Amino acid sequence: MMKKKIKDIFMLETDGIGVVEIILILVVLVGLVIIFRNQLTSIVNSIFTKITNAISTF
């Protein structure tokens, strides 16, 4: 009886990744963006400056 209940619980969890896992991943990503906001801003600005300089040489 107990084996059947445990088996049923595991058999119901077949959808792979769940909503909770996706929410946790998003929370971690948002946290990393907040922590490294200044570094990310400087990298993006540097990339856009290089693109602008490369375009202006044409």
| Residues 40, 32 contacting (CB under 8 angstroms) | no
Read off the pTM. 0.54
Backbone angles phi and psi of 36, in degrees to 5: -105, 30
Alpha helical stretches, state H, the chain:
2-12, 19-35, 37-56
Instruction: Identify the residue with better confidence: 21 or 32.
Output: 32
- Mean pLDDT, the chain, whole residue set: 85
Q: What is the pLDDT of residue 50?
A: 95
**Helices 37-56 and 19-35 sit at what angle, rounded to 10 degrees?**
70
29: confidence class by pLDDT, cuts 50, 70, 90 = very high
Cα distance between residue 58 and residue 48, in whole Å: 16
What are the boundaries of each domain within the chain? 17-56
Cα distance between residue 15 and residue 57, in whole Å: 53
